[in-house]
């Protein structure tokens, strides 16, 4: 699990777009299993990636079909397990029509947190080799966030998980954290190592801790 953190405009989402080959690098290169990403079959490569973007897009269809969108077939046990792993199963079952509930364009019948979790379920239902979370846990509470990240630990074992966030609570348990500023990686390491450096990451942590204390009071 690699985490990328930094202030707004630091370049976090640009890295996600480069990984997905939404556009290519103008210098240097991106390697997947030591193979330049430009040499890989684009369709086959993207088929192995699950992405949860910042801006959630849901179709005007049933919740089940939204979750199963990236899968080859609608397999309800798999869909339900993905919903459980994304911590949204209980919310769905409480709806009058459960997984057959029709949601409006962009999921307007769901709360922000529910939309994000349905989007997470859609990304993990196909068991991707690479999973990219682009700041997609902002609308869920800390307890739900911890549950989702805990589940991801099992789902993505032996695979690549990239979490982009501005919230340190989301990424502090990552194997490696990259701190970005103005398009550059300025620090990298584990949470413990970066805290010891007392530099940018430490300052972000202290600031967020203070903001949390103020909001609680």
* pLDDT tens sequence across 87-135: 999 999 998 889 999 887 656 678 888 888 999 999 999 889 999 988 8
pLDDT for the residue numbered 105 = 62
Q: Give the pairing of strands 130-134 and 160-165.
A: parallel
CB atoms within 10 A of CB 74: 14
Q: Is the distance from CB of 52 to CB of 123 less than 8 angstroms? A: yes
Instruction: Look up the pTM and report it.
Output: 0.85
DSSP bridge partners of 6:
180
Question: How far is the CA of 187 from the CAs of 70, 98, 215, in angstroms?
Answer: 35, 45, 29
171: closest CA among 199, 148, 203? 148
Q: Give the pairing of strands 49-52 and 130-134.
A: parallel
> Which residues does 94 contact at the CB level (< 8 Å), separation at least 6?
none
The answer on pLDDT for 58 being more than 90 is no
70: closest CA among 94, 49, 91, 55? 49
Reduced to 3 states (helix: H, G, I; strand: E, B; else coil), residue 119 is: helix
First to last CA, the chain: 33
Chain mean pLDDT for the chain: 88
The answer on pLDDT for 5 being more than 90 is yes
């Amino acid at each position: 699990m690699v985490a990328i953190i930094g202030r707004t405009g630091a370049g976090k989402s640009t890295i996600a777009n480069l990984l997905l080959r939404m556009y290519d690098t103008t210098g240097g290169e991106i390697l997947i299993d030591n193979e330049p990403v430009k040499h890989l079959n684009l369709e086959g490569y993207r088929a192995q990636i699950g992405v949860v973007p910042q801006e959630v897009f849901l179709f005007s269809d049933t919740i089940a079909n939204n979750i199963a969108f990236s899968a080859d077939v609608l397999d309800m046990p798999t869909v339900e397990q993905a919903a459980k792993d994304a911590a949204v199963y209980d919310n769905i079952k409480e709806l009058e029509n459960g997984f057959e509930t029709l949601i409006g364009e962009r999921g307007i019948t769901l709360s922000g947190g529910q939309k994000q979790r349905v989007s997470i379920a859609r990304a993990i239902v196909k068991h991707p080799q690479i999973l990219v979370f682009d700041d997609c846990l902002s609308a869920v509470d800390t307890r739900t966030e911890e549950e989702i990240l805990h589940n991801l630990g099992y789902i993505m074992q032996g695979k690549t998980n990239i979490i982009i966030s501005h919230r340190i609570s989301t990424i502090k348990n990552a194997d490696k954290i990259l701190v970005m500023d103005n398009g550059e990686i300025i620090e990298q390491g584990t949470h413990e190592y970066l805290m010891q450096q007392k530099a940018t990451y430490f300052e972000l942590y202290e600031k967020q801790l203070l903001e949390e204390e103020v909001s609680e009071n």
